[in-house]
Amino acid sequence: MKTDLLACDGGKPVRAAEFPLWPVFGETEERLLLEALRSGKWGGANRSKLPELEEKIAALHGAKHGITMVNGTLSLTVALKAAGVQPGDEVIMPSYTFIATATSALLFGAIPVFADVEPDTLLLDPERIERLVTPRTKAIVAVHIAGAPADMTRLKAIAVRHGLVLIEDSAQAIGAEWDGKPVGALGDIGSISFQSSKNLTAGEGGMLITNDDKLADAAWSLANVGRVRGGEWYQHERIGWNLRMTEFQAAVLLGQLTRLEEQLRHRERNAELLTQLLEEIEDIGVMRRGLLQTRHAYHLYMFRLAPELADR
């Protein structure tokens, strides 16, 4: 089509107005934040916003348990540790992801083993995983990069065949669906991030979701100084961190949650439009969208430039 529209060709800018500010917020967030402030329960036990958030996000992702954390890096570390991954154990993960997927393992001495991604989806290539499995392999971390769901059907089959734990790094994928089901708790345990760039944000924050009672209890304990869920306040039965989220973050996230569905639809609509236009440009390769990727969260819109164009 009109390659003259491309800014790199010196064409007319297609947009002159500034993009709207992110994040979007309003009276709902103000009201919830004030409620949290006036409750005096900013941390500790007996809170209201935090459990409400955990319940709502778990329900949104078809999970029985939601466990909030300080961020999506340490929530991945907790997921690995809760699943029994030890220092020296190997964790297979995609080579293309944010650095935190790998550092979450390295932080306690587990070893990331990289499998390449498919060039036309940028998602973990299931074909490449099995040859990387060794006796030290304990887990696979699938990353739903950009909000595009990875092939959970094939990854699950591989994990089951080799007795590996399947973890979903869903930091960029809140709201995404694989084969009509929300991602995150399709494997054994999944991690979400609420860092400032993410689709649902409180500036910082993270959460684990799972349908496995044992993994949920272990993760809760690791993030709550080794306490036992439902146990005594000073009953510490393992070594854990304090990775708890504050009531203020939970309040903001509850407000943001009321906007999520509309924003997800908006993202899908805009992405579809952009794809239609970009497909007409020879030097641009749009990502392949599989039929089972029933909902893309479009945290990012990815496409590939022909090398000649990228070099200019």
Ligand X SMILES: *Cc1c(COP(=O)(O)O)cnc(C)c1O
* C-beta of 122 vs 159, nearer to ligand X: 122
Please report where in the chains the tokens 């909000």 appear, as a residue: 147
* Cβ atoms within 10 Å, residue 276: 10
Q: For the CB of residue 153, give the shortest distance to ligand X in the complex, in Å.
A: 21
**Shortest reach from residue 90's CB to ligand X, in Å:** 19
CB of 145 to ligand X, least distance (A): 6
Which positions lie near ligand X, rule CB under 6 A? 71-73, 97-98, 100-101, 143, 169, 171-172, 193, 195, 206
Is the Cβ of residue 253 or residue 281 nearer to ligand X in the bound state? 253
Cβ-closest position to ligand X: 72
Task: Give the separation between CA 119 and CA 123, rounded to whole angstroms.
Answer: 8
CB of 228 to ligand X, least distance (A): 26
* Cα gap 61→47, rounded to integer Å: 22
Q: What CA–CA distances, in Å, run from 95 to 17, 35, 287?
A: 37, 43, 18
Of 159, 158, 141, 160, nearest in space to 96 by CA: 141
CB of 115 to ligand X, least distance (A): 15
Question: Which of 49, 81, 138, 198 is the catalytic position?
Answer: 198
Could you give the CA distance from residue 299 to residue 297 in angstroms, rounded to a whole number? 6
In the complex, least distance from residue 143 CB atom to ligand X, rounded to whole angstroms: 5
Q: What is 51-111 written as a DSSP string?
A: HHHHHHHHHHTT-SEEEEES-HHHHHHHHHHHTT--TT-EEEEESSS-HHHHHHHHTTT-E
Cβ–Cβ < 8 Å for 58, 190: no
198 tagged catalytic: yes
Residue closer to ligand X by CB (options 58, 78) is: 78
> How far from chain centre, in Å, is Cα 274?
23
Separation CA 280–CA 4 (nearest Å): 13
DSSP state of 201: -
**Residues annotated as catalytic (active site), given as ranges:** 198
